[in-house]
């Protein structure tokens, strides 16, 4: 079976590895070269790099794929919407692979803009673990207070520079991070607030535990409303067909 995965998450990589081991022909579409690096070494898995428009997704799905799995980040709302529309147009069965939420720790807000408004009247350094794309939401805050932790890519670092972030404040690292490393960064940069998304197993628990241990106030941007299945459920979808074929 030819399977297309829109990846970018740890679960997506695990799914690609498992489906390849089951004998499926697997392609994984990732947005950036960093995403492709994470898939390096997976045998019999083809990697496609680049952000795709709806039309480009249509062209990709027309290449004879039997199934598609959306394994993009829980906050990738636009990508999920476009993948769903493209699969509907192409008549390709689609499932959403969605990691569980991490918990209820921290002060919950609905958007990066709301987080910025909350912190505008409070003093102290802010560790931004929300991604480079969210930096414009914090433009009203003093750049010297902001310590964005972003991917070590030219695109992410350039976004920090456009936002006026001092070079010494840019933390360009590839996660997920352990609790100890999170605590060390908070101590190093005298962090008072940590703003993050609920990435679940993508490192959220480690960030929440580190904030609690370090006495740092945790501000969490709520997840968009979405429905999906866990990795085991997606694998069962493929396994059922395999067992049916063997029975026949």
Structure token pair of residue 134: 């969210």
pLDDT, tens digit, 9 for 90 and up, residues 32-87: 888 888 888 788 899 999 999 999 999 999 999 999 999 998 899 999 999 999 99
Task: Return the closest-CA partner of residue 237 out of 97, 99, 27.
Answer: 97
DSSP string spanning 97-124? B-PPP--S-SEEESSHHHHHHHHHTS-S
pLDDT, tens digit, 9 for 90 and up, residues 141-164: 999 999 999 999 999 999 999 999
Structure token pair of residue 207: 């960030």
Cross-strand pairs, 125: 191
């Amino acid at each position: 079976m030819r399977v297309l995965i829109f990846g970018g998450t740890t679960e997506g990589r695990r799914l690609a590895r498992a489906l390849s081991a089951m004998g499926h022909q697997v392609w994984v579409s990732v947005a950036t070269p960093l995403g492709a690096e994470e898939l390096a070494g997976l045998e019999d898995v083809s990697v496609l790099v680049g952000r795709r428009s709806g039309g480009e997704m249509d062209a990709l799905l027309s290449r004879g794929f039997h199934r598609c799995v959306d394994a993009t980040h829980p906050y990738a709302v636009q990508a999920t919407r476009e993948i769903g529309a493209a699969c509907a147009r192409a008549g390709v069965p689609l499932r959403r692979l969605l990691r569980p939420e991490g918990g209820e720790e921290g002060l919950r807000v609905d958007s990066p803009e709301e987080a910025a408004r909350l912190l505008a009247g409070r003093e102290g350094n802010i560790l931004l673990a929300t991604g480079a794309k969210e930096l414009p939401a914090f433009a009203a805050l003093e750049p010297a207070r902001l310590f964005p932790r972003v991917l070590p890519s030219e695109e992410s670092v350039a976004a920090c520079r456009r936002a006026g972030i001092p070079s010494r404040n840019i933390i360009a690292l590839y996660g997920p991070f352990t609790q100890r490393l999170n605590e060390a960064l908070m101590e190093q940069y005298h962090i008072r607030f940590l703003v993050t998304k609920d990435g679940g197993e993508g490192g959220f628990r480690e960030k929440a535990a580190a904030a609690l241990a370090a006495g740092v106030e945790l501000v969490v941007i709520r997840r968009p409303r979405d429905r999906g299945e866990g990795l085991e459920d997606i694998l069962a979808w493929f396994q059922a067909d395999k067992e049916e074929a063997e029975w026949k």
